Structure 1
Amino acid sequence: MVTIRVGALADSGDLYPFIPLMEGKVKPEGFNLEFEVIPTVQDINEAVLKKEVDVSVPSVAMYPYIQDDYYILSNAVATAVDGITGMPILAIKEMSEDEIKRSRLIVHGPNTTAFTLYRLLIGKYGRLIIVRRVLDEIKALGKEGDVLVAVHEIKMMYALRKMGISVVRIGSMWDMWKTISNNTPMPMGMVVISKEVGKDLALRFKETYEKSKKYAEKHLDEIIPKDVQIMREAQKADLDEEIVRKTIWADIQEYNVPVDEIRRGLEFFFKITEEKGILPRVKNIDLL
Structure 2
Amino acid sequence: MVTIKVGALADSGDLYPFIPLMEGKIKPEGFNLEFEIIPTVQDINEAVLKKEVDVSVPSVAMYPYIQDDYYILSNAVATATDGITGMPILSIREMKEDEITKSRLIVHGQNTTAFTLYKLLIGRYGKLVIVRRVLDEIKALGKEGDVLVAVHEIKMMYALKKLGINVVKLGSMWDMWKNLSKGIPMPMGMVVFSKELGRELALKFKEVYEKSKKYAETHLDEIIPKDVEIMRESQKADIDEEIVRKTIWADIEEYNVPIDQVKRGLEFFYKVCEERGILPRVRNIDLI
Q: TM-score, normalised by structure 2?
A: 1.00
After the TM superposition, which residues 202-217 of structure 1 pair with which residues of structure 2 at under 5 Å, given as runs? 202-217=202-217
User: 1:66 is matched with which residue?
Assistant: 66
SS at match of 1:128: strand
Note the C-alpha offset of 1:217: 0.2
SS at match of 1:170: strand
SS at match of 2:134: coil
Q: Does 1:235 align with 2:235?
A: yes
Q: Deviations over 1:116-156 (max 9, x none)?
A: 00000000000000000111000000000000000000000
User: 2:272 is matched with which residue?
Assistant: 272
What is the identity, as a one-letter code, of the residue corresponding to 2:262?
I
After the TM superposition, which residues 117-132 of structure 1 pair with which residues of structure 2 at under 5 Å, given as runs? 117-132=117-132
User: 1:155 is matched with which residue?
Assistant: 155
SS at match of 2:63: helix
**Residues in 1 aligned to 2:118 and 2:94: alpha-carbon distance in whole angstroms:** 18
SS at match of 1:247: helix
Q: Deviations over 1:93-128 (max 9, x none)?
A: 010000000000000000000000000000000000
SS at match of 1:30: coil
After the TM superposition, which residues 1-288 of structure 1 pair with which residues of structure 2 at under 5 Å, given as runs? 1-288=1-288
SS at match of 1:217: helix
What is the identity, as a one-letter code, of the residue corresponding to 2:186?
M
SS at match of 1:77: strand
Report sequence identity in percent.
Answer: 84
Give 4+ residue runs of structure 1 displaced > 4 Å after superposition.
none
SS at match of 2:99: helix
SS at match of 1:169: strand
**Residues in 2 aligned to 1:204 and 1:131: alpha-carbon distance in whole angstroms:** 36
Q: Deviations over 1:222-278 (max 9, x none)?
A: 000000000000000101000000000000000000000000000000000000000
Aligned length: 288
**Structure 2: runs of 5 or more not aligned:** none
Note the C-alpha offset of 1:28: 0.4
**Residues in 2 aligned to 1:18 and 1:102: alpha-carbon distance in whole angstroms:** 40
Q: Deviations over 1:51-77 (max 9, x none)?
A: 000000000000000000000000000
**Structure 1: runs of 5 or more not aligned:** none
**Residues in 2 aligned to 1:199 and 1:170: alpha-carbon distance in whole angstroms:** 44
**Residues in 2 aligned to 1:37 and 1:172: alpha-carbon distance in whole angstroms:** 29
